[in-house]
Structure 1
């Protein structure tokens, strides 16, 4: 390479300059923004057309000296790879357009031919020169150029600029130009403000882009040659990393696709470019870390397939993308496989067997070799990639008021142009890319600091609600710690009759519906679809609503609870010896064992210590068996039970009662079987719950049960909620007591409202904290819209208290949470 540069210095400079000029002219020629672009371009100089002709002629002469059969084959391969990559990117840009047909190749501009016109003229001149001048003017030809020793290098350079030419004249590049941070200020509503300034800046932009792209493309062209010759090295790793990044971007976004439009867009500017860059760095890191091409390639392929499938299933069941908090499941693979069903073990075994089979059978004959032989160079590349990720992390971490520096390429546009964080993780992942959500997740604050937060403002809130508590307690005669309270989180419980077009052969929950008519009852707003159990439990225990937190927070127990200054659980009102949790699942799920230990629960009955009692319905511990554990641990004292059932969790495969069936239009036979099984499970919940309450009614002490569904099952398609979008996040609840209580009127509540409701229904005295929650329940909860005046002030008070507990200085005193008891 050094000899090539030294001996061909002048010719090399001419060749590079010629191609750069050709690319600039080519790029300007195909600009669609105005009809006089080419004339304007040539108005820069009277010599531009002449220089262009000389450039294309010189390139053609060089081409005539380097072409060969392999040269044309390689050119075709490069063009086909480019078309494939370009089309996958085009499909990615339209992934949220459900009517978009990926097989409409002509309509979707599969064949990118802009640069082919110039390329054809180069080949034509080269052909004429080769077969005319070199034959009839051999003396002129010999004096003109001698490059026979360096054909390979010139071939790589030609193909590099050819690929850059294809990229720069791609139809997509013109669509995104007005959205780039470099050129955005030159446009108004997509139209050029000043044509001359635009062209000058555009040429600078193109030259800068060529300089940035050239090293990468040059190495990639070498990599294509390495793949063709079955001798993969670093260049081949660049090619594969690029292709994997483009492919993974499409598959992961396609796994969470929906027909979504925000501010007139199906995808925000920079989303595709950002995610492809992140994935490219990730795959290149895999190649460099393992430093074995075949192994790294297989790992990358299986990673793409595995994560895309996992993302698809999570989105189908929970309408939520894969998030960083989901990685915690990798620490407990057995539990994860159990929840997916016994067949999951077979699939894992099959995947491992296929992976090992491919690796062992191909390593001798196909794509086997080290990516980088030089360990120093390998270390530099790995450090550079980590620096890239750290740089992105720092950019997100240093956001102020949700904004980053506008001058930062790609991220500046993607993050700053539109703030849609309040739409939540799913919509942001669909519109701004999953990678964007991941970096936001990893760098976002748990809760935004309220504007007026200070020690004095917290003290004012304390004094305010001490007075409110005093007023409330004047009319309340009972103490919560002299009663028994049971919170029953019923897994995936929700009345199917509220789902449009679901047909059921018979009503599965008549007894619970009857209970709801006689008790305080209504609908509860769930914060998740198909999942989010731990978040519902957190809110019912603490009274702290999730809607006040950062939209990037997904799991409260693992992201919020560890950083809290104080955990204000209703269980704190009871003697620690009489606090019991029953959840027949792994105790380490969502760090529950740690949470319950910190809350000083005396007993945690879980999958590992429940004993042999009970039986399963479907694939999980039955509700009746869970209720029996409650009754078994009941004593004469006042107690607090936090109970979470597992019966209606996936998999749904209950066969009885066999004559009870359900269906949904458009469902496959298998989907209808699952729906029918779920309905049958509700039937068993209905009977078990009625029987449970009848037994509690006979116990000689005051007992109150809060029964609620945590979320809907992930069975229903989005179309089921098209006429009632809020119905996707509404479950059933009731509050029952075995003694006379009023029937309160709260048709729609948040899970964080339950404790205030229990205090009110049982006529129990409240602490200042529960006085605040009572005010929120009555005047500022989720059933109230467009809060104003006193309601808005109450909501802000709760936000201030929540911030102090989670992210603030912990100014609140213990007295604020002290619930009146018989002793005090």
Structure 2
């Protein structure tokens, strides 16, 4: 029977409706599965954020047995919620960028052990938490791996690979077997649009995280509304009290200093006039100069005097020759900026005369966060270059640490000599670092090769961590009243042997300079104590002792014994001028006077030259004025308009008239 025209039309119409119903049903199922998947994915990311926040905070609290972690966690529940929101935002951003839930989860979970190991190693070695500025060390993997044992490094890397493969690859395989909603046409563009929207929203939220320290920042308000009370005088306490993520965000970049009260061009000009007059008075009778004098500044890695610490049993003095040198020249005790670390900060303070304690607490490493932002930065190097010196930096290690190439260029160094360029590269026993004898020989060779007087900044490496497997013949050392196990004894023995080698190498270096027909002055200091001392030693000895290292200023043309007392690294530069009998510029006259009449700025306190700690509020009117002058000059250089840089420290930027 032949179908009529009317029947054919009805058949086509029924077929069209059936296809529409099938298409609508498929689309509905696609949207249902997509919406359900997105909801479950976001919920899963939230759960992961909660787990990571708990792990990070409980791990840090677990390193501090004096705190009851469960009680503190309950008190910090609001801050923990803020941590979760921050982490969830970061996870959603990563998921939108990568586009695969399982691979995103695998990568994120693999980062957790890396972060934990890095945080625990830094806490153990330096008693500091991780900072945003530490991300710069990712460009120096050799240095990072040197801070952990090879076995631990391999285990962590294997764990990372396993987590990524198991979570990312395993999850993708499982979901692939069940099948995914297919996307094409308008559905594909819808997915792309949603991902782009999530990327934009979470990206803007992450940008605001980076601006955490700006006025009115929403993230900072979130933490403060939940009870955050920032503790800039102790970053470790800051993280413990305000959560790990909150403490990390608090250290996001910010202005180097707050504008001091009364800062203006007129005020700075008045300040220069006063300190020029003061310098003129201090310079009466000074007849020397640096015109034909070599200047050597030696930062001795981890060099300290362990015989000054209670609780150690060290039968023989490991640094007798250094002690003898100190007794015959200008010498004293330097307050280090950290324990087990802070090398670049000590170097910055010595070369610039600026105090880390006067900067904002977030300015944890000026070498990374401040100096590279300038074309020139006032320093001892610039001053001596304007007097005709050639400037050479020597560091027997990797070139890129703490952005030194950029920093040294800003300071005005003519050459940067690293382990790849040195002519002397001897190492002692199993020590992976170039020894101090080779480092000093390199400086002597640089002086010999230079027709112009030389200013050399040497940063040594022999006594850098790790300790315990460097030397074959460690001295017999131990503890007095403590039982810390064989690993501590090995570390202490290694350390004592290392500084004993430094002591002998330093004496040979000074002897060689004495035999030279060129005038040379030397500033020598230890940058910090090693980081292997435990909490028991720190509590027994106190903050001042645990931050005290030796320093001296010396000339190969004769010295006068002088006890300089307790000083900070920012206040050492004038002693170079003393042993050279050179006139002080106004800025160094301010540093000298501040040290003599006030003391040193240390961890938010003032430490007198006699080693007594006083609060800033207890300073008298004259001392308050000196501190204010110091703040004004430092602000003018680091943040302000540099109204008087050339007047208060002529030539310090290396620019000649």
Query: Shorter-normalised TM-score: what interval?
Result: 0.7 to 0.9
Give the alignment partner of residue 421 of structure 2, picking from 609, 620, 633: 609
Give the alignment partner of residue 363 of structure 2, picking from 553, 557, 563: 553
Q: Write the distance in 2 (CA, Å) between the matches of 1:372 and 1:495.
A: 70
Give the alignment partner of residue 101 of structure 2, picking from 261, 272, 293: 293
Q: Write the distance in 2 (CA, Å) between the matches of 1:407 and 1:361.
A: 37
Number of corresponding residues: 587
3-state SS of paired residue (2:93) = helix
Q: Is the 8 A contact 2:256 2:370 kept in 1?
A: yes
Q: Is the 8 A contact 1:566 1:805 kept in 2?
A: no
Give the alignment partner of residue 516 of structure 2, picking from 682, 696, 699: 699
Give the alignment partner of residue 251 of structure 2, picking from 408, 417, 441: 441
Q: Is the 8 A contact 2:330 2:575 kept in 1?
A: no
Deviations 1:127-148 (A, max 9, x none): xxxxxxxxxxxxxxxxxxxxxx
Q: Is the 8 A contact 1:294 1:367 kept in 2?
A: no
Give the alignment partner of residue 465 of structure 2, picking from 650, 654, 663: 650
Q: Write the distance in 1 (CA, Å) between the matches of 2:415 and 2:167.
A: 49
Q: Is the 8 A contact 2:338 2:528 kept in 1?
A: yes
TM-score by length of 2: 0.82
Deviations 1:501-539 (A, max 9, x none): 222353322222232233322221111111111111111
Give the alignment partner of residue 571 of structure 1, picking from 381, 385, 395: 381
Aligned to 1:639: 454
Q: Write the distance in 2 (CA, Å) between the matches of 1:236 and 1:366.
A: 16
3-state SS of paired residue (1:523) = strand
Aligned to 2:637: 805
Q: Is the 8 A contact 1:233 1:293 kept in 2?
A: no
3-state SS of paired residue (1:579) = strand
Q: Write the distance in 2 (CA, Å) between the matches of 1:238 and 1:625.
A: 58
Q: Write the distance in 1 (CA, Å) between the matches of 2:317 and 2:492.
A: 14
Q: Is the 8 A contact 1:397 1:443 kept in 2?
A: no
Q: 1:692 to 1:680 in 2, by over 3 A?
A: same
Q: Write the distance in 2 (CA, Å) between the matches of 1:634 and 1:387.
A: 54
Q: Is the 8 A contact 1:504 1:660 kept in 2?
A: yes
3-state SS of paired residue (2:552) = strand
Note the residue ranges of structure 1 that are not aligned, 5 or more in a row: 1-221
Q: Write the distance in 1 (CA, Å) between the matches of 2:60 and 2:153.
A: 25
3-state SS of paired residue (2:564) = coil
Q: Write the distance in 2 (CA, Å) between the matches of 1:332 and 1:689.
A: 29
Q: 1:703 to 1:392 in 2, by over 3 A?
A: closer
Deviations 1:713-748 (A, max 9, x none): 110112211132322222221222222232222221
Note the residue ranges of structure 2 that are not aligned, 5 or more in a row: 1-31, 184-190, 601-606, 609-613
3-state SS of paired residue (2:252) = helix
Q: 1:668 to 1:291 in 2, by over 3 A?
A: farther
Give the alignment partner of residue 331 of structure 1, picking from 136, 139, 153: 139
Q: 1:391 to 1:571 in 2, by over 3 A?
A: closer
Q: 1:605 to 1:395 in 2, by over 3 A?
A: closer
Q: 1:394 to 1:751 in 2, by over 3 A?
A: closer
Q: Write the distance in 2 (CA, Å) between the matches of 1:497 and 1:568.
A: 37
Aligned to 1:686: 503
Q: CA deviation at 1:474?
A: 1.7
**Pair 1:777 & 2:581 matched:** no
The 5 Å alignment of 1:193-204 reads none
Q: Write the distance in 2 (CA, Å) between the matches of 1:581 and 1:391.
A: 38
Q: Is the 8 A contact 1:579 1:641 kept in 2?
A: yes
**Pair 1:814 & 2:623 matched:** no
Aligned to 1:420: 231
Q: 1:500 to 1:538 in 2, by over 3 A?
A: same
Q: CA deviation at 1:281?
A: 1.8
Q: Write the distance in 2 (CA, Å) between the matches of 1:813 and 1:676.
A: 47
Aligned to 1:200: none
Which structure has the larger Rg? 1
Give the alignment partner of residue 674 of structure 1, picking from 467, 473, 491: 491
Q: CA deviation at 1:342?
A: 5.4
The 5 Å alignment of 1:29-178 reads none
3-state SS of paired residue (1:735) = strand
Q: CA deviation at 1:572?
A: 2.3
Aligned to 1:660: 476
**Pair 1:462 & 2:272 matched:** yes
Give the alignment partner of residue 261 of structure 2, picking from 440, 451, 454: 451
Q: 1:498 to 1:235 in 2, by over 3 A?
A: farther
